[in-house]
Amino acid sequence: MNLTAIIFSFVFVILALFLSNAFRLGLGKDIIITCIRATIQLFIVGYILKFVFGFDHPFVIILMLLIMILVAAKNAAQRGKEIPYAFWKIFLTIAVVEIITQGFLLGLKIVPAEPQYIISISGMIIGNSMIIANLFLNRLKAEIEMRREEIELVLSLGGSVKQSIFPILKQSIRASLIPTIEGQKTIGLVQLPGMMTGQIIAGADPIQAVKFQLLIVFLIMSAATLTAIILGFLIYPSLFNKEQQLEVF
Amino acid sequence: MENTEIELHNIKKAFADGSKKVQVLNGISAKVGKGTLLTIVGPSGSGKSTILSLCNLLQTPDDGEIYVNKLEVRKWDVQELRRYVGIAFQSAPMTKGTVLENLSLPLKLRGKALENPETYLEYVGLSAELLSREAKELSGGQRQRLSLARTLVNNPSVLLLDEVTSALDTKASQGIEELIQRINKERSVTILWVTHDLSQAERVGDETWLIKDGQLVEGAPTKQFFSEPKDERTKDFLNLLRSSL
Ligand SMILES: Nc1ncnc2c1ncn2[C@@H]1O[C@H](COP(=O)(O)OP(=O)(O)OP(=O)(O)O)[C@@H](O)[C@H]1O
Ligand SMILES: [Mg+2]
């Protein structure tokens, strides 16, 4: 794409603004802010990636991954403000998921150990884990509010903290995974996944792009499951105090 | 009192109500002897349920100590304490699942199975046909009886009962009263029974407490409590409820 093409792509922004105005949707300000943010953020990321790929040093890659995980954990931790150490538990969860998935990918030589592969796949894994952590914490909170009496019943009968929360934990883990699983069912039928689209536009063989996309689908499934389960088991002890009473939410 | 089962020592408990603090219990001290059947009465919101939940550490007092069998509740192994001091909640909560699953829950938590579920249902006057029913679908009165039976499965030495007959008719209530009195006499189980029903408190109690305004206003042998109350506030409370009947 050359500069004129980029400038012409702003026509779409103007169209959205025009429609928002014509129908008095009141979204004009949001549209402008979103477009400006997207432009700036993506260009910054582009230049950073260019720099990191050029450097090609493990330390720089690890630093980049750490920053990505920190940002993701910070975002997800907003859902669990009430929970002690929520941020660190989410950070640890995403880091472990990242290490496990990259361990398999690189250890089994499924993808080459090159920065562009590591960073772009990690981006997808970490972003997805962040969304799962968000969904999980949201659901956990709602379930606890709804089923507090059940938790206290099990505790009152001499059950352990884990026994009292287990059904709710399981329910929340399940619920947080459903959108990921549902979402993958219609993959490709309506919308082509972004990465595949990108590869095809950039001139890759569609079959090659499909193989790569499949890898990503499978990766995201297992990363999502890992995230929900690890986070669930790290988080639940923080919901109770030392007298084994439900304290959070 | 030769053999104390429960001792409350200057108990205070407040709850946050929005931004302000409500002092629900404001310095309660009392003893309950082993094998006593204590009835607790008092206006709604006076903190009766709160007292019960402090006795098995479902809540912790802000100040003061609670001794169960001479040991401060925070020194007990929590799970052991909660099996020693069983509670039947006011709301008779049920978990998802059948009546049998709910009834055997206390044992399932210890990895055991319940051998004789029918016996427990019989105790509380429920038919064994209910075992396979969904517990959440039972009527209020049936749930109340199931909840009590479930608490009995742990065979507690102290039994906390919170309005366990409020949804029952007279005949069913009498059945429960007889059951509780039998458990109390035969197994010397100590019982703390919160009830709104003054005639019930009078019928079943060895001792009775009135909780009001964060205080233990009067604690006395039941007969004396009802026939010659000492505190003016007790007289007012009894008169008010009697005149409204
Ligand atoms: N977990 C809690 N959080 C906030 N407030 C509470 C909590 N538990 C009890 N309270 C408040 O403490 C007060 C006493 O409650 P409690 O349930 O002990 O009263 P009660 O005497 O059992 O009343 P009732 O006869 O209606 O059952 C009430 O004002 C109640 O709103
Ligand atoms: Mg109550």
Domain ranges of chain A: 1-55, 58-239
CATH of the domain at B233: 3.40.50.300
Q: Do B57 and A158 touch (CB under 8 A)?
A: no
Query: Nearest residue CA, atom 16 of ligand 1?
Result: B47
Q: Do A244 and B56 touch (CB under 8 A)?
A: no
Q: Do A158 and B91 touch (CB under 8 A)?
A: no
Q: Which domain holds residue B73?
A: 4-244
Rounded-to-integer distance, Cα B117 and Cα B103, Å: 7
Rounded-to-integer distance, Cα A219 and Cα A120, Å: 13
Going from the Cα of B30 to the center of ligand 2, the distance in angstroms, rounded, reads: 19
> Of B153, B155, B162, which is closest to residue B116 (Cα–Cα)?
B153
Rounded-to-integer distance, Cα A144 and Cα B153, Å: 26
**In sequence order, what DSSP letters do the residues of B125-179 get, joined into one string?**
T--GGGGGSBGGGS-HHHHHHHHHHHHHHT--SEEEEESTTTTS-HHHHHHHHHH
Query: Nearest residue CA, atom 28 of ligand 1?
Result: B45
Instruction: Count structural domains, chain B.
Output: 1
> Quick check: B87 contacting A, CB < 8 Å?
yes
Q: Do B56 and A160 touch (CB under 8 A)?
A: no
> Of B98, B125, B127, which is closest to residue B114 (Cα–Cα)?
B98
Ligand 1 binding pocket (C-beta < 6 A) is: B 15, 22, 24, 42, 44-50, 90
pLDDT tens for chain A, residues 1 to 249: 788 888 888 899 999 999 999 999 999 999 999 999 999 999 999 999 888 888 878 899 999 999 999 999 999 999 899 999 999 999 999 999 999 999 999 999 988 888 988 998 999 999 999 999 999 999 999 999 999 999 999 999 999 999 999 999 999 999 999 999 988 888 888 777 887 888 888 898 999 889 888 888 899 999 999 999 999 999 999 999 999 999 987
**Considering the entire predicted model, what is its pTM?**
0.89
Interface residues from chain A to B (CB-CB < 8 Å): 149-150, 152-160, 163, 167, 243-245
pLDDT digits (tens, 9 = 90+) for B138-193: 999 999 999 999 999 999 999 999 999 999 999 999 999 999 999 999 999 999 99
Going from the Cα of B24 to the center of ligand 1, the distance in angstroms, rounded, reads: 8
Rounded-to-integer distance, Cα A232 and Cα A222, Å: 15
